[in-house]
Amino acid sequence: MTQSALTSQAGLHVAVIMDGNGRWATARGLPRTAGHVRGAEAVRRTVEAAPDLGIRTLSLYAFSSDNWRRPTGEVRVLLRLFARHLRSETPTLAARGVRLRVIGRRDRLPGPLVAAIERAERRTAGGRALELRIAIDYSARDAIIRAASRLAPGETERTAFARRLGEACGADGAPDVDLVVRTGGEQRLSDFLLWECAYAELYFTPRAWPDFDREDLAAAVADFRGRTRRFGDIAAATDAYSAGRA
């Protein structure tokens, strides 16, 4: 069985770089934080839409380890928003069968946010419809360094490393990312899931995150489904050159 067949059987892993909140707000004469507030509604829409689109794992980039560089006021608002939404959304997530895990470092987060994360993870632990991973104080390169330092002598398999990476992020290992969606117009990964994205398809949209909705997610998934993934192999059945010689 090909790797892509395995992927589609298990459901997709979609990773979203939720970008463009600040510019969305600035363009409307609002403070940047207003964009973050509206962005939280886009998170809700995306989580709701994901299972129907065949998404089994959804990784959302909420706060990078480099985002600590931002003005203290913006960081404070963001961290408070995370705590508030984790508390308010947990019952709905649990009712929908969504299992929430937060990936990234926790030792630099405020106590109330860590408490909200732990409670949300506990309350949604039985969810099977969707694995929702929210990245907070996350850096893929830092996670890779932590994972490498956890490897036992002689542990050289990719699967072992992927397991260590899961441990290093504070969650179980996740399958490789099938599709990365980045909103806000930039075309870069900004240190998100670098190991897991080795063969991910990349989809960039100018839509700002606060405007992102169910149709946008469906369009990204439809675009993904139209692509041919080869994982270094050749697509024998659809390759025109080999078909011509058959």
Task: Write out the binding residues for ligand IPE, residues 179-238 only, by CB under 6 A.
Answer: 184, 186, 188, 190
63 binds ligand IPE (CB under 6 A): yes
139 vs 161: CA distance, rounded Å:
17
- From the list 3-11, 57-65, 81-89, 93-101, the region that binds ligand IPE by CB under 6 A is 57-65
User: Three-state DSSP class for 44?
Assistant: helix
> Within a 13 Å sphere around the CA of 121, how many CA atoms are in the beta-carbon half?
14
196 binds Mg ion (CB under 5 A): no
Q: For the CB of residue 26, give the shortest distance to ligand IPE in the complex, in Å.
A: 7
22 binds ligand IPE (CB under 6 A): yes
> Within a 13 Å sphere around the CA of 117, how many CA atoms are in the beta-carbon half?
25
64 binds Mg ion (CB under 5 A): no
Tokens matching residue 106: 């926790």
Where b means 16+ CB within 10 Å and e means fewer, 127-147 reads beebbbbbbbbbbbebbbebb
Q: At which residue do the structure tokens 């969305």 appear? A: 24
Q: How many of the other CB atoms lie within 10 Å of CB of 68? A: 11
Q: For the CB of residue 113, give the shortest distance to ligand IPE in the complex, in Å.
A: 14
Site track 19-58 with Mg ion (rule: CB under 5 A), x = hit: x---------------------------------------
- From the list 61-69, 91-99, 121-129, 150-158, the region that binds ligand IPE by CB under 6 A is 61-69
Beta bridge partners of 61: 17, 135
Q: For the CB of residue 73, give the shortest distance to ligand IPE in the complex, in Å.
A: 13
45 binds ligand IPE (CB under 6 A): no
| 178 a catalytic residue | no
What element of type H or E holds 216? helix 214-225
Instruction: Pick one of 12, 14, 18, 81: the residue that binds ligand IPE (CB under 6 A).
Output: 18
Residues 13/59, Cβ–Cβ less than 8 Å: yes
| 233 a catalytic residue | no
User: Catalytic residues, which ones?
Assistant: 19, 67
Binding site for ligand IPE (CB under 6 A): 17-23, 61-64, 67, 78, 184, 186, 188, 190
